Amino acid sequence: MPLPVAGVCPACIRQPPALDALHAGWAYAWPLDQLILAYKHGANATAERILAALAQEVVERRLSPEHSDLVIPVPLHGRRLRERGFNQADVLARRVAAVLGVALENRGLRRVRATDSQQALGRKARRQNVNGAFAWHGPDLGGRHVLVVDDVATTGATLFALAGVLRQAGAARVEGLVLARA
């Protein structure tokens, strides 16, 4: 189901976040929610192909080729990466970078602190959960326009935390791209 409105949310008007924009393709609803969960928790190869194609569709509908000059996936903590065996955001970011024709940087941004799953947490708890969880260990981003990719945004806490870290590393603009917005 496509998102019903575009533009700036009222909360973002009252208090602008570190994230310059969030591009979401669809609402987090059936059947997309089930497809995302099947991939994320079951490494379903068919779901991976479909989700990568959907990521490409979001890029083609919402972004121009000169939109960003660097794509970065939301990183997983090493422990969660070992448990899951893959980072779903990295798979999506690879497709997004290829469609945009820009570099993928998947080593500089790190989750330096393991966090609880965000799924069962409220807005305030989500912000606290990711506070200080990320660090930049890559080259200076001096003036770069960065696009951070993930599968789902609920409150935006993870993307907002990442945007702050990337701005401190020199990024001039930080936007997020997700398949779905809850």
Cβ neighbors of 49 (< 8 A, separation 6 or more) are: none
51 inside domain: yes
Q: What is the pLDDT of residue 96?
A: 97
Give 101-115 pLDDT, tens digit per residue.
999 999 999 999 987
When pLDDT is averaged across residues 136-157 and rounded to a whole number, the result is 95
Contact 92, 153 (CB under 8 A): no
Task: Report residue 12's pLDDT band, with 50, 70 and 90 as the boundaries.
Answer: low
Give 55-78 pLDDT, tens digit per residue.
999 999 999 877 899 999 999 999
Q: What is the pLDDT of residue 140?
A: 93
Q: How many CA atoms lie within 13 A of 155 on its CB side?
A: 16
Q: What is the pLDDT of residue 1?
A: 46
Contact 99, 59 (CB under 8 A): yes
When pLDDT is averaged across residues 172-180 and rounded to a whole number, the result is 96
The pTM of the whole model exceeds 0.75? yes
Query: E strand or H helix at 178, and its extent?
Result: strand 173-181
Q: What is the pLDDT of residue 30?
A: 96
Three-state SS annotation for 89-128:
HHHHHHHHHHHHCCEECCCCEEECCCCCCCCCCCHHHHHH
d(CA 97, CA 93): 6
Domain carrying residue 63: 20-181
7 inside domain: no
Q: How many structural domains does the chain have? A: 1
Exposed/middle/buried for residue 128 (C-beta within 10 Å: 0-12, 13-18, 19+): middle
15 inside domain: no
The proportion of the chain whose per-residue pLDDT surpasses 90, expressed as a percent, equals: 71
Q: What is the pLDDT of residue 173?
A: 95
Q: What is the pLDDT of residue 9?
A: 65
Q: What is the pLDDT of residue 68?
A: 94
Q: What is the pLDDT of residue 64?
A: 82
Q: What is the pLDDT of residue 7?
A: 64
11 inside domain: no
d(CA 159, CA 148): 7
Q: Are strands 173-181 and 21-27 parallel, antiparallel or unpaired?
A: parallel
Query: In CATH, what number is assigned to the domain containing residue 116?
Result: 3.40.50
8 inside domain: no
Q: Is the pLDDT of residue 138 over 90?
A: yes
